[in-house]
A and B are shown apart, each in its own frame.
Chain A
Amino acid sequence: MKDFKRISVRRMSKRFGEKTAVDDFSIEFGKEEFVTFLGPSGCGKSTALNCITGLIPITSGEIFIDDECIDDSKTSVPPEKREFGMVFQNYALFPHLTVKENIAFGLKLRKLPRSEVDKRVGDALKMVHLEGYASKFPSQMSGGEQQRVAIARCIVLEPRLLLLDEPLSNLDAKLRVELRYELKALHERLKVTTIYVTHDQTEALALSDRIVVLKLGKIQQIGSPQVIFSDPANPFVADFVGYKNAWKGKIESLKEEGSSLSVKVRTAGILIESRVSYSEGDPRRKDLVEAFKTGKSVTTAIRPEDIVSGSQPGCNVFRCVADLVEYQGHANQISACIQGCEDERVDLRSVSQVGFGQFFEASVDPSKVLLFALPQTAQANSKGKAT
């Protein structure tokens, strides 16, 4: 493997006719880093991945490995010469070759001596716990086993960059968790630079050093799992990582207190207090102050886990009526209507029993209520960033 320090993607875009699948995508990957592209289906995460491999030619932008330009949208190093490895959602094992032949495929193309090929295939099989499977065909194996072969087929070549495109999405829930642990362990051990694509926030949080959240081909936020989870950059990211309660409203009062803002919002038929710690210079703070002055709409973002049933002192309290209760083992997932405002719903978790149609009080700490200024329209937002 040729050594390197970083891989940089600079202003990469991909257009299919009128449609922009990847828009002005810039990121640097440090060696040994595990980065996840997270987003809903159709957000361009897989396209971005394929663009980095070279399997999809890019429309504009550049990709560098240290100082070596591997793609500048006019000339590009073909995928087979980039020394990247890729794992696919549907495994993409060669059905006419045995497990051993699948793993040896890349090594044989590199014209390595037979003894070396055998040794490295054996090591790779051991690493994914598939000793004894060498002479099986893919069709004789389970999905989890097939995906392990696919991973072994890549790592045996010691790629500079390993790309995984929703590798666990075709597996059942139990296997998915098992293989996720193994992927993590494998990365700890081999330290191969990895890009992982998923729509599953649990996978992203569990595996990544950094997460890139994407929407409609545009990067929404790049940050560590902790930052993405607790400090989302905008309503979209917040919604995607589980801040289910998004109520639109208008700011009634706003006080700046050092690194935090104290805001009262008229929303969902009630007055909600929020204390957000957006430091000075944070665009979210600037937008909220702006929204307060011009009277533009804002939206809340509250996790269901942060809303507790019952009235708590110093908290926002609202009365609601439960109209959907799901038992989930450790807690009940409740969806309720806020009294006095039939349009807005509240999602919360409760350990105590709440019956269908029952009135109850729920409360949330002001520091758990995130606030975002709403963009005028989604379109104005994307145009503003592109220019």
Chain B
Amino acid sequence: MKGSSKNGVLLLLIPAVVFIFLLFVYPFCYGLYTSLTKADGTFTFANYIRFFTTPREIRTIWVTLGIAVPVTLLAVGLAVPLSYYMRRGIKGEKIISFFLIVPVTLGTVLVSEGMLTFMGPNGWLNQLLMALHLVQKPVQFTHNYAGVAISVGLQGFPYAFLMLLGYVSGINPDLEKASQMLGANKWQTFWKILFPLMVPGIAISFCLNFVMAFSVYPSAVLLGQPSGPQRVIALAAYQMAFEKFNFNAASAISMIMAAIELVVIAVVLAWRNKMYKGASIVGKG
């Protein structure tokens, strides 16, 4: 009786397992296989060798990291103090959350298109800056690094913020009181108690944000110079697949992308384990 009910529960896992297998395990293995073969199906490392011997391709890694790392750091860096400030709820919290979630729900393309006109040379932003005499002539916000970075940041920040807000507001408020009663001021309480307890949340939101930013594509095409300085790695893979019709080489590029992401995630999780060696609970007492 007990055994059969246990088996029954395990059966509930089947849809999830099938789903993961069809949508992740199989495509991943197929991609790995494709990247290690020629078009005729013979084994080769040539796809990888070609990528790492072509300066124009290698450069895409640094271009993409150059966008993803600073933008993610900035997004998470801003989300930490803001979520700390809003941890007990503030007036207008719903409105703030609403405006943060809107860019996520509208999708990258629409937001990027909007930014193209809003931040363009004759857009409202430049008109405002000139009207306030902050600048003499229009500032270039589009078709360059700034445009891509702003767009990627705008997409990533809400995720980081909402995730961290959940983390901070889940920390037992008595821990702050206890720290204060033991003689710590607000600043010491933040650095010695709240921040270490936020580390797992910071690590996870950094990882998710980084992965999203590293696979940047629409923002780079619409708001950057996709043929030059903002030729990101996702674009390189796309061009390989659909302009040169070399799916094997394109697979190799996406495998390299995945590898870089995994390396960064491994570094972040190592940092987390170093910072947060303690309990697995978040201060619920």
Beyond A81-B183, A84-B181, A106-B182, 18 additional pairs, beta carbon < 8 A: A55-B177, A78-B180, A79-B180, A79-B181, A80-B180, A80-B184, A85-B181, A90-B174, A90-B285, A95-B197, A95-B278, A95-B281, A95-B283, A96-B196, A96-B197, A137-B279, A146-B285, A153-B178
Instruction: Give the chain A neighbours of B192 by CB distance below 8 A.
Output: 105
Any B CB within 8 A of the CB of A91: yes
Q: Is the CB of B172 within 8 A of A90?
A: yes
Any A CB within 8 A of the CB of B273: no
Any A CB within 8 A of the CB of B179: yes
Q: Is the CB of B285 within 8 A of A97?
A: no
| Interfacial residues, chain B to chain A (CB-CB below 8 A) | 172, 174-175, 177-185, 188, 192-193, 196-197, 276-283, 285
Q: Is the CB of B276 within 8 A of A96?
A: yes
Q: How far is the CA of A91 from the CA of B281 in the complex (A)?
A: 14
Q: How far is the CA of A218 from the CA of B182 in the complex (A)?
A: 29
Minimal Cβ-Cβ distance residue in B for A91 = B285
Q: Is the CB of A80 within 8 A of B185?
A: yes
Instruction: Give the chain B neighbours of A91 by CB distance below 8 A.
Output: 285
Interface size on A, residues (CB 8 A): 33
Q: How far is the CA of A83 from the CA of B185 in the complex (A)?
A: 13
Q: How far is the CB of B197 from chain A (nearest CB, A)?
A: 6
Q: How far is the CA of A91 from the CA of B192 in the complex (A)?
A: 18
Q: How far is the CB of A237 from chain B (nearest CB, A)?
A: 30
Q: Which of B175, B185, B279, B282 contacts A92 (CB 8 A)?
A: B175
Q: Is the CB of B172 within 8 A of A139?
A: no
Any B CB within 8 A of the CB of A232: no
Instruction: Give the chain A neighbours of B185 by CB distance below 8 A.
Output: 78, 80
Q: Which of B181, B183, B188, B278 contacts A55 (CB 8 A)?
A: B181
Instruction: Give the chain B neighbours of A73 by CB distance below 8 A.
Output: none
Interface residues of A in 81-136 (CB under 8 A from B): 81, 83-86, 88, 90-98, 105-106, 109-110
Minimal Cβ-Cβ distance residue in A for B277 = A96
Q: How far is the CA of A110 from the CA of B182 in the complex (A)?
A: 10
Q: Is the CB of B178 within 8 A of A88?
A: yes
Instruction: Give the chain B neighbours of A78 by CB distance below 8 A.
Output: 180, 185
Instruction: Give the chain A neighbours of B281 by CB distance below 8 A.
Output: 95, 139
Q: How far is the CB of A149 from chain B (nearest CB, A)?
A: 11
Q: Which of B179, B188, B282 contacts A95 (CB 8 A)?
A: B282
Q: Is the CB of A109 within 8 A of B278?
A: no
**Given contacts A95-B197, A105-B182, are A86 and B177 in contact (CB under 8 A)?**
yes
Any B CB within 8 A of the CB of A245: no
B-contact bits for A68-83, CB 8 A (1 contact / 0 none) = 0000000000111101
Any B CB within 8 A of the CB of A249: no
Instruction: Give the chain A neighbours of B278 by CB distance below 8 A.
Output: 95-98, 137, 139
Q: How far is the CA of A106 from the CA of B183 in the complex (A)?
A: 6
Instruction: Give the chain B neighbours of A105 by CB distance below 8 A.
Output: 179, 182, 184, 192
Q: Is the CB of A157 within 8 A of B183?
A: yes
Q: How far is the CA of A282 from the CA of B184 in the complex (A)?
A: 48
Q: List 15 A-B contacts (CB under 8 A).
A: A80-B181, A80-B184, A85-B181, A86-B181, A94-B178, A95-B282, A95-B283, A96-B277, A97-B278, A105-B182, A106-B183, A109-B184, A139-B280, A157-B182, A157-B183
Instruction: Give the chain A neighbours of B280 by CB distance below 8 A.
Output: 139
Instruction: Give the chain A neighbours of B188 by CB distance below 8 A.
Output: 109
Instruction: Give the chain B neighbours of A217 by CB distance below 8 A.
Output: none
Q: How far is the CB of A146 from chain B (nearest CB, A)?
A: 8
- Residue with the greatest number of chain A CB neighbours at <10 A, chosen from B174, B192, B282, B285: B285
Q: How far is the CA of A53 from the CA of B196 in the complex (A)?
A: 26
Q: How far is the CB of B179 from chain A (nearest CB, A)?
A: 7
